[in-house]
Structure 1
């Protein structure tokens, strides 16, 4: 009997123990969902610490006229929610997948954005047995950039994207950033190139972080389509002084140059904005070239007029035309007389022809003096415009290389009011999930 009793006890203690709370990972996930933990973890100091494990950045586009940058940022986060923890010895699993809309997720404050679209990277999040939650969100951001375009198209500047937690009274959502941000996708968006992305701290508060995106312009397109045509048109205007004033060939060429340059001016206005406190130097360049071309065209027209007239005034020209018409009528009357009179009139006509030839011989020196004077003015105009162009080129080189003007100041996007800090920009509060 004693031997059979020992065998019974051994069988009882060797049988597996079935615990009432034991279930698989799906059962555990259902229990965690039933808790409806949609409230942020409440610590004693009313603060939540979220560790950002990775920041991946990509520039999608850059609107040079509006100075707006569109980008995509993938932010991977991790935090601990004690209410989602379980004993992995009781539940034989170390992690489960939960729907992202069934648990609390941190909200991100984007301080200086114009528009933002937030999308979860996946519809599920991974939760570990100690309550650690791994979460990722994709941010499609449009932000206004304060980059100086004074030296366009040779421009390099920074555009900031501030991504932070919130701070309300004594409750704080604190974000811990990694040391560096990563770039993915293409680094070129149109004529702009993304050089680097860095995570920097605000000078006044180290807890405020932002992404500093360094951008630069590829100048090839602007040089070929804007700067080079303007230089060639100005050179063609100077070379046009070699054409003769008579005949109107020079005037036709100068009018064509002015109309062609107007087309490039329209292209510039479509590409760059002329507003703001720092207008691009290229606008001033096009303005100078247009004024130069118009003045050159006007001077050419005036010289052509002086070549065929005694004075610039039109009234003198009209009097001369009247005298020519009077002579024409006299010639017509003489023709009628020739048809009706005898040989005496023929002798008178021959005498008149002789008189005309003598008058032409007398007017030739005067015409030669007028033509020489116009040629002198033409050479003087050429030297004047050549001198102006040389002075202008030297001035542009000095302004671009030696001076430091139109340096943008870093905008203030945080406001401190007493003990409480608020995030504010352009009369709009931003708070997104």
Structure 2
């Protein structure tokens, strides 16, 4: 008939009207004739199975209440570079299906049975932070009781976005979120709730968690925000999962070896400054520390700047400064033994002050030592050269000692020896001073890093 409804349109209209009319769900009451000792006849639930594409309600103005809980059974991976958390969950959904009910006394005392999830309406609950396709295994079933209470459990491998803060690595704690919401249903059609308390979820997850590796579960909290998309308002439940890294692996493999190398570098200051082995020893330590950093690079986060990287850079800088100090002292000693320049008065006074802080009376310079200031005989801890202690050689002794050139060379050496001793004393005092400054800076830096880690 022209201008009328086509046959398919009329059937669809009748189906929609039948779904909207209140009281129509009473036609789907389960008939106990399909229950016997051998099982349940699928035909008893066929009317319910035929409506699996629609939300099971008697009145569409009443929203479906879905209770959500989960069990965190494994923390598989935390990718700091991609800011991803990979975990394994057992998701639990519970809701009421008013179209399913039977009398257990009339149905061989059967109060609960399992139904294939493919034949039922399942709430479209998903995790907003998920960045992977849901890979739940097929063939899952749901539990249903005589009052129409549905319970659906399924395992989920979740790869979710997590804002990771690795500054305190390896003593860091992360707080990741798992937000459960619906794709299609607004608050007018679906409301979310909790079947368990948060502390029950936390305790169950701690008892059942399978991975005892790098991460441990600290606790789980929740919030119930609403998400507004355009003019549509969706219900949500957000779980805050707090996890902490177990630092033992990194302390043993990173911090302890690095600390040992720095301590050995500090102890190398006790090698004699005149020894030619101090500088090569420090260079060997510096090379070994660089090799250690290259080998341990895979254990460090690939993104960001954690505090441990600052600690390693600080240790490397200390070792470089230690080597530079050794080079400086070696240069001073070489200068003192080859061509010592005249020591300025202010430097000699400073040396005299550090050697004997209680000295208050200035010394009188002697002849032949005009540019030198007080002689080394007035400096504590400096022995008088042997050449100045002996008597002046007589004519007979001069003939025995050699030519006038050799005597002049010996006199020149005798006059130069006090200056050499002064520069040697100055070099040793600078070595001690720089070593103490090195220890002070190292202790201050290490304590600062430890305090930052503890906060």
Give the structure-2-normalised TM-score.
0.63
In structure 2, do the counterparts of structure 1 residues 28 and 253 end up closer, same or farther at CA, with 3 Å as the change threshold?
same
1:196 to 219, 226, 233: 219
- What residue is the counterpart of 1:73 in the other structure? 89
Whether the 8 Å contact between 2:125 and 2:180 is mirrored in structure 1 is: yes
Task: State the Cα distance separating 1:185 from its structure 2 match.
Answer: 2.9
Range with greater deviation from structure 2 (122-131 or 139-148): 122-131
- What residue is the counterpart of 1:389 in the other structure? 442
In structure 2, stretches of 5+ residues that fail to align are 1-30, 228-233, 339-401
In structure 2, do the counterparts of structure 1 residues 63 and 119 end up closer, same or farther at CA, with 3 Å as the change threshold?
same
Range with greater deviation from structure 2 (366-375 or 303-312): 303-312
1:140 to 157, 166, 175: 157
Q: Alignment partner of 1:208: what SS?
A: strand
Matched, 1:273 2:301: yes
Whether the 8 Å contact between 1:29 and 1:97 is mirrored in structure 2 is: no
Question: C-alpha separation between the residues in 2 aligned to 1:204 and 1:37?
Answer: 27
Higher relative contact order (Cα pairs below 8 Å, separated by 6+ residues): 1
1:375 to 417, 428, 438: 428
Whether the 8 Å contact between 1:187 and 1:193 is mirrored in structure 2 is: no
- What residue is the counterpart of 2:127 in the other structure? 110
- What residue is the counterpart of 2:209 in the other structure? 186
Question: C-alpha separation between the residues in 2 aligned to 1:204 and 1:90?
Answer: 44
Task: State the Cα distance separating 1:243 from its structure 2 match.
Answer: 0.7
In structure 2, do the counterparts of structure 1 residues 189 and 159 end up closer, same or farther at CA, with 3 Å as the change threshold?
farther
Question: C-alpha separation between the residues in 1 aligned to 2:166 and 2:296?
Answer: 13
In structure 2, do the counterparts of structure 1 residues 208 and 268 end up closer, same or farther at CA, with 3 Å as the change threshold?
farther
1:51 to 67, 71, 96: 67
Matched, 1:26 2:26: no
Q: Alignment partner of 2:208: what SS?
A: coil
Computed over aligned residues only, the root mean square deviation of the Cα atoms, in angstroms, reads 3.9
Task: State the Cα distance separating 1:310 from its structure 2 match.
Answer: 6.6
- What residue is the counterpart of 2:176 in the other structure? 159
Structure 1 residues 64-88: Cα deviation after superposition (integer angstroms, max 9, x where no partner): 6445332211122232334455677
Question: C-alpha separation between the residues in 2 aligned to 1:100 and 1:399?
Answer: 52
Question: C-alpha separation between the residues in 1 aligned to 2:92 and 2:152?
Answer: 6
- What residue is the counterpart of 1:233 in the other structure? 261
Q: Alignment partner of 1:104: what SS?
A: coil
- What residue is the counterpart of 2:356 in the other structure? none
Task: State the Cα distance separating 1:361 from its structure 2 match.
Answer: 5.2
- What residue is the counterpart of 2:167 in the other structure? 150
Whether the 8 Å contact between 1:51 and 1:175 is mirrored in structure 2 is: yes
- What residue is the counterpart of 2:392 in the other structure? none
Question: C-alpha separation between the residues in 2 aligned to 1:263 and 1:385?
Answer: 23
- What residue is the counterpart of 2:75 in the other structure? 60
Task: State the Cα distance separating 1:142 from its structure 2 match.
Answer: 2.0
Give the structure-1-normalised TM-score.
0.66
Task: State the Cα distance separating 1:166 from its structure 2 match.
Answer: 4.1
Whether the 8 Å contact between 1:83 and 1:131 is mirrored in structure 2 is: yes
Task: State the Cα distance separating 1:107 from its structure 2 match.
Answer: 1.4
Whether the 8 Å contact between 1:75 and 1:137 is mirrored in structure 2 is: yes
Question: C-alpha separation between the residues in 1 aligned to 2:49 and 2:260?
Answer: 75
Range with greater deviation from structure 2 (122-131 or 297-306): 122-131
Whether the 8 Å contact between 2:76 and 2:88 is mirrored in structure 1 is: no
- What residue is the counterpart of 1:254 in the other structure? 282
Question: C-alpha separation between the residues in 1 aligned to 2:213 and 2:33?
Answer: 58
Question: C-alpha separation between the residues in 2 aligned to 1:56 and 1:221?
Answer: 27
Question: C-alpha separation between the residues in 1 aligned to 2:142 and 2:444?
Answer: 67
Question: C-alpha separation between the residues in 2 aligned to 1:167 and 1:102?
Answer: 20
Question: C-alpha separation between the residues in 1 aligned to 2:134 and 2:435?
Answer: 60
Task: State the Cα distance separating 1:373 from its structure 2 match.
Answer: 3.0
Matched, 1:300 2:317: no
Task: State the Cα distance separating 1:362 from its structure 2 match.
Answer: 5.7
In structure 1, stretches of 5+ residues that fail to align are 1-19, 313-349, 405-433
Task: State the Cα distance separating 1:204 from its structure 2 match.
Answer: 6.9
In structure 2, do the counterparts of structure 1 residues 192 and 95 end up closer, same or farther at CA, with 3 Å as the change threshold?
closer
